[in-house]
Amino acid sequence: MKKSIIKLDSVWKTYTMGNVEVNALQGLNLDIKAGEFVAIMGPSGSGKSTAVNMIGCLDVPTKGKIILEQNDISKLSESELAQIRGRKIGFIFQQFNLIPTLTALENIMLPMIFQGIDEKERIERATELLELVELGDRLHHKPTELSGGQQQRVAIARALSNNPDVVLADEPTGNLDSKTGTNVLNFLQKLHKKEGKTIVMVTHDSNLSKVAERIEFLKDGAIVKSLNNQR
Question: How confident is the model over 85-135, as pLDDT tens digits?
Answer: 888 899 988 788 899 999 999 999 999 998 889 999 999 999 999 998 889
Q: If pLDDT is split at 50, 70 and 90, which confidence band does 230 have?
A: low
Closest CA to 44 of 227, 218, 179, 168: 218
User: Strand 63-68's sheet: what is its strand order?
Assistant: 20-33, 4-17, 63-68, 71-72
Amino acid letter for position 122: R
At 220 the pLDDT is: 93
What are the residue ranges spanned by the domains of the chain?
34-63+77-228
Query: For the whole prediction, is pTM greater than 0.95?
Result: no
Convert the pLDDT of each residue in 200-217 to its tens digit.
Answer: 999 887 777 778 889 999
Convert the pLDDT of each residue in 35-85 to its tens digit.
Answer: 999 999 988 889 998 998 899 988 889 999 999 878 888 788 888 888 888
Which CATH architecture best describes the domain 34-63+77-228?
A: 3-Layer(aba) Sandwich (3.40)
Question: 178-195 and 148-159 helices cross at what angle (nearest 10)?
Answer: 20
- What's the sign of the alpha-carbon dihedral 184, 24, 7, 206? negative
Q: Tell me: pLDDT of 231 over 70.
A: no
Across the range 165-175, mean pLDDT stands at: 85
At 127 the pLDDT is: 95
Amino acid letter for position 221: G
The secondary structure of residue 64, as a DSSP letter, is E
Cα 95 to Cα 189: distance, rounded to the nearest angstrom:
20
Grouping H, G, I as helix, E, B as strand and the rest as coil, residue 34 is coil
The residue with greater pLDDT, 188 or 206, is: 188
Which H or E run includes 78? helix 78-88
Cα 149 to Cα 226: distance, rounded to the nearest angstrom:
31
